[in-house]
Structure 1
Amino acid sequence: MKVLVLNAGSSSQKSCLYDLNGSLPIDPPDPVWEAQIDWTVQPGKAVLKVKANGTRLESTIESTDRATDTLQMLKTLSEGKTKVIQQTGDVDIVGHRIVHGGQHYRQSVRIDQTVKATIADLARFAPLHNPANLQGIEAIEQSLGGVPQVAVFDTAFHATLPPAASIYPIPYEWYEKGVQRYGFHGISHQYCANRAAQLLGRELIDLKLVTCHLGNGCSLAAVQDGQSIDTTMGFTPLEGLMMGSRSGSVDPGVVLYLMREGNYTINEIEQILNKKSGLLGISGISSDLRQVVSSQTERSARAIDTYIHRLRSGIGSMLANLGGLDAIVFTAGVGENSALIRSRTCEAFRWLGVEIDSEKNQSSPIDQDISARSSKARILVIHTQEDWAIAQECWKLSHSRSS
């Protein structure tokens, strides 16, 4: 079974192909083909990278529209040195990461006209992402015709949030109009929770986990009985932890003050909070943690201290609602690669018996337990694989229909 995955972002398109035979493997397999389009390099151009058959190709293409660029990317599946199938019709099913499923979707679904219309309507909640996701769906329709397509929603894993965690303390009629805490990075949090259960040799339903997705965007999830019961991102991915260039949670009064006293427009404030805040805003150096750490300036030190303070506070709030802890999971770019962040974060929870093994922590661990033997809770580093999680959803939906 050949499963194609499209992961469309606001400025890039990632894709991969898995060739699955028989039952789902326990450990994530490598895709047989991977590709990426980057639209941020220069106006009117796009950089296309493809990896397959031991070959890596990179080219700059004229970019007329994203759908056309995606079609050009898909051609490399069945043409040239990166050819892995005879024809695009050999693809059995296609899975898409859809950022926002709103109140409508609590699990993955087969895509039809109703689903497409709902994704388009939910673009009012995710204007940078849902339209890009929809373009990917339509590009597949153009290139692969009637191949089955599956929508895997980034918000779905958090659909189990209890009302106390999802409702904002604002007029209730706003909630009835869709203003609530949705949570994001759900595909990653769900994958890492399942992977943690595998690594620990336990059933997920028996575990209490805090999963820490720390990349350019950052969020936490409290996982109990296999479900998300709390998370840090909310109505948008701007809420919660301090991030690379995003502020995370700030007093709404700050926004009102800037509009009233500073004459900032809504667009200016949106740009500042999303693109000029977080590590970049405090350090003045970069949104990349590695560059902030290496700069060794006073402002950089303050940025790191603030980042860790807010991360510790967020984990504390997750623990309060879990009522216990079996493991803390670190994932994504920072979570997987920064021994400094993992160490300083876990220091705050030594009073709970959480102890990190400094040697293991420094060893670039992936899918490993880095806690000390005496630790009362495990500390795991897991390589998040959203594409594989999407492929698994496609496989499950396909087999549930055929059984």
Structure 2
Amino acid sequence: MPDDQLVLNAGSATVKFGLYDGQGRLRLRGLVERISEAPRLRLLQGEAPTERFRPLAGGPADAAEALLAWLEAEGLLAGLGAIGHRVVHGGTHHAAPVLLDDALLDDLEALATLAPLHQPPALATIRRLRAQQPGLLQVACFDTAFHRHQPRVHQLFALPRRLADEGILRYGFHGLSYAHVARRLPEVVGAERAVGRVVIAHLGQGCSLCALRGGQSLASSMGFTALDGMMMGSRCGRLDPGVVLHLLRQPGMTTEQVERLLYHDSGLYGVSGISADMRDLLASDHPQAAEAVELFVERLLQEIGALTATLGGLDALVFTAGIGEHSAEIRERCVARLGWLGAALDPAANAHHAPRIDAGTGPALAVIPTDEEGEIAAATRQLLEASSRR
């Protein structure tokens, strides 16, 4: 019987985790949050522990080490066989989960500038745990992997060919989320629609959309980095590159300052000046909050329209992630302007966040909770089984 798997999803401010048994059943899920302020462990099921950690100056790597120490003290690591990690960027070479070693880590370090919010903390965490637990298998699962088999025309930018040969391509992200939703599609929208023309909207702090045909990624709104495409919590989304050139020409404006503006000071937060959280903006009566929400819906409709054109029609539209799963208002405002596709909402189903929220005509409209940690656990379990057979 396979051993347990621990899944770690290390970000800049949190380390999410899930502990799964050898049959893939979730034992425990939670996160270490406020890493750089007042770090604490919070479970996402049952009673939240009151465990608070000492200041974690080392960021996510320290948080992961503290988490493992807590799990071990609670007697939860006795059957641990492997750790699975979310690694955002796998470049052009990685289209499937892989066992981690030093050479692979060096390759992944070279991609850190393409995902500066996520790649460095994930790799720092992996290196720390490899040093601490050298005999424990560790697995990398890539957000870009789901999109690696897109047609080449959907990966290219209109730039000199030599740059594409150097790896400047559209990679797409949120692949672990899309892989999980694609797996759930048949039971929610039916087998025929599941292999048809599907658009999935992953709407959270990070946002992107993906067009699927035959359950496979055809095109994605995100491109070379996780800045592209849909407007997000604090990221700008699609932007005229001339704006970046203009900013860089401003006196005293450094590359680092422009990077911070685009990644941290833009999106819902930048437009509203209030919050990067959609819940705060929907509850606010401030006109700038309303404008940020309106822009978000407008950008969402543009991305749906573009991907629907690529697919040649739409059989199903799926909402997932924090906003997609929990904001009935955003879904309603979006679908209200998709009448040209024949989309019709069932208001009661939408208000209750039901799996199917369409009125029974036009394309299927669905709400499917994402489970990136579950995807990582399944992939880690498969590699663990394969390793045990060798």
- Tell me if both proteins adopt one fold, taking TM over 0.5 as the criterion: yes
Q: Which residue of 2 aligns with 1:282?
A: 271
Q: Which residue of 1 aligns with 2:29?
A: 34
Distance 1:261 1:73, change over 3 A: closer
1:256-295 alignment, distance < 5 Å? 256-261=245-250, 264-295=253-284
Is 1:33–1:77's contact at 8 Å kept on the other side of the alignment?
no
Q: Count residues in correspondence.
A: 386
Matched, 1:220 2:214: no
Query: Which of 32, 39, 42 in structure 2 is aligned with 1:49?
Result: 42
Matched, 1:394 2:380: yes
Cα-to-partner distance string for 1:18-67 (whole Å, 9 max, x where unaligned): 0133xx6xxxx4x212342234552xx53333568856233142324243
Cα-to-partner distance string for 1:301-356 (whole Å, 9 max, x where unaligned): 22111111110010011111112322111011110111111011112222221111
**Take 1:206 and 1:156, find their aligned partners in 2: how far apart are those partners?**
19
Matched, 1:79 2:73: yes
**Take 2:340 and 2:359, find their aligned partners in 1: how far apart are those partners?**
14
**Take 1:52 and 1:352, find their aligned partners in 2: how far apart are those partners?**
39
**Take 2:48 and 2:116, find their aligned partners in 1: how far apart are those partners?**
36
TM-score when scaled to structure 2?
0.92
Q: Which residue of 2 aligns with 1:380?
A: 366
Q: Percent identity?
A: 38
Is 2:35–2:56's contact at 8 Å kept on the other side of the alignment?
no
For the residue of structure 1 that corresponds to 2:199, the secondary structure is strand
Is 1:329–1:381's contact at 8 Å kept on the other side of the alignment?
yes
- Kindly provide the amino acid, as one letter, of the partner of residue 77 in structure 1: L
Higher relative contact order (Cα pairs below 8 Å, separated by 6+ residues): 2
**Take 1:138 and 1:35, find their aligned partners in 2: how far apart are those partners?**
22
Cα-to-partner distance string for 1:141-190 (whole Å, 9 max, x where unaligned): 24433222211001111112222111111122111111111111111111
Q: Which residue of 2 aligns with 1:244?
A: 233
TM-score when scaled to structure 1?
0.89
Cα-to-partner distance string for 1:224-259 (whole Å, 9 max, x where unaligned): 122111111111111111111111111111222233
Distance 1:345 1:167, change over 3 A: same
Distance 1:221 1:53, change over 3 A: closer
Residue 400 (structure 1) shift: 4.3
**Take 2:45 and 2:76, find their aligned partners in 1: how far apart are those partners?**
7
Q: Which residue of 2 aligns with 1:335?
A: 324
Deviates more, 1:148-157 or 1:295-304: 295-304
Distance 1:69 1:261, change over 3 A: closer
Is 1:4–1:17's contact at 8 Å kept on the other side of the alignment?
yes
Distance 1:303 1:225, change over 3 A: same
For the residue of structure 1 that corresponds to 2:109, the secondary structure is helix
- Kindly provide the amino acid, as one letter, of the partner of residue 79 in structure 1: A
In structure 1, stretches of 5+ residues that fail to align are none
The alignment's C-alpha RMSD in Å is 2.2
**Take 2:117 and 2:269, find their aligned partners in 1: how far apart are those partners?**
21
